[in-house]
Amino acid sequence: MKKFVKFIFKLLLILIIAFVGIFFGKGYWGYLELTQQESVDQVVSNVMSSPNYVSYEDISPELIRATIAIEDRRFYDHGGIDYIGLVRAAVSQFDDDLLKSGGSTITQQLAKNLYEMFDSTWDRKSTEFFVAKYLEKHYSKNEIITLYVNVINYGNNYTGIYEASIGYLDTYPEDLTVAQASLLAGIPQSPSNYDLVYHFEAAKQKQLSVLRAMAECGYISESDINAYYNGNPQLDRAD
């Protein structure tokens, strides 16, 4: 019986090692193919040369805090990778729902958006890993979060925080208040469902989640949540 258990254990260990090898091997190969067409630095340069690109210094600290609170609380502490999410991605070849439920770090989301890798496959997830590691090695955390808010989808055909701030609120990104920033920061998790023009009520419910997350991170006090939630964001929306 003991020999059988040992055999099963060794077999599982071999299968796991082989699976991990295939997962990362295919990911690295995909990364090489991707970056041969256009390097990460070239893609980043293209983003930064956009006329609507907003530098870190010109983005409200409230938006940075709100984004980190709702998307990736350990952003400044990790190396860019959510290993639990990667395990889910690997297992998802047997269960697609696991891939969809796996959260990604801000760096991983940036990697995905830079190369428009929006397909829900484990090959994409493994390739995303290597792009994210490159970003973490060659760019600062402030540069990464800045790139993220400049490329992410904010709904209503608004890409990046400049378009979203001006389009929704008629406000420059540097002037966003806590109420405004918390409203915008929740949109990227589901742009089509939290679009402020056509899904304002759903967006307001998401804003409450953002504010609670900000309070849990110590960015605001819990006693101020309702005040920010009920504040007027000066939204120009369709009736």
Per-domain residue ranges for the chain? 1-54+72-140, 153-239
pLDDT tens by residue, 53-79: 999 999 999 999 999 999 999 999 988
- Interhelix angle 161-169/141-151, rounded to 10 degrees, is 50
CATH topology of domain 153-239: Penicillin binding protein transpeptidase fold (1.10.3810)
pLDDT tens by residue, 191-207: 999 999 999 999 999 99
If we measure between CA atoms, which residue out of 111, 68, 93 comes closest to residue 217?
Answer: 68
Q: DSSP of the chain, one letter per residue?
A: -HHHHHHHHHHHHHHHHHHHHHHHHHHHHHHHHHHHHS-HHHHHHHHHTSTT---GGGS-HHHHHHHHHHH-TTTTTS-S--HHHHHHHHHTTT-HHHHHH----HHHHHHHHHTT--S--HHHHHHHHHHHHHHHHHS-HHHHHHHHHHHSB-STT-BSHHHHHHHHHS--GGG--HHHHHHHHTGGGSHHHH-TTT-HHHHHHHHHHHHHHHHHTTSS-GGGHHHHHTS--------
Query: Does pLDDT of 22 surpass 80?
Result: no
The confidence score (pLDDT) of residue 124 equals 77
Structure tokens that stand for 220 in this block: 């605001």
Q: How far apart are CA 119 and CA 36, in angstroms?
A: 20
User: Angle at the Cα of 22 (from 90 to 35), degrees rounded to 5?
Assistant: 90
Structure tokens that stand for 166 in this block: 């001006």
pLDDT tens by residue, 152-186: 999 999 999 999 999 999 999 999 999 999 999 99
If we measure between CA atoms, which residue out of 122, 70, 115 comes closest to residue 93?
Answer: 122
Query: Does pLDDT of 87 surpass 80?
Result: no
If we measure between CA atoms, which residue out of 23, 33, 68 comes closest to residue 188?
Answer: 68
Q: What is the dihedral of CA 75, 81, 83, 87, to 10 degrees?
A: 130
**Are the beta carbons of 133 and 81 closer than 8 angstroms?**
yes
Stated pTM of the model: 0.83
Q: What is the mean pLDDT of the chain?
A: 84
| From 1-5, 25-29, 80-84, 231-235, the region with the lowest mean pLDDT | 1-5
User: Cα Rg for the chain, rounded, in angstroms?
Assistant: 20
Question: What is the CB neighbour count within 10 angstroms for residue 186?
Answer: 27
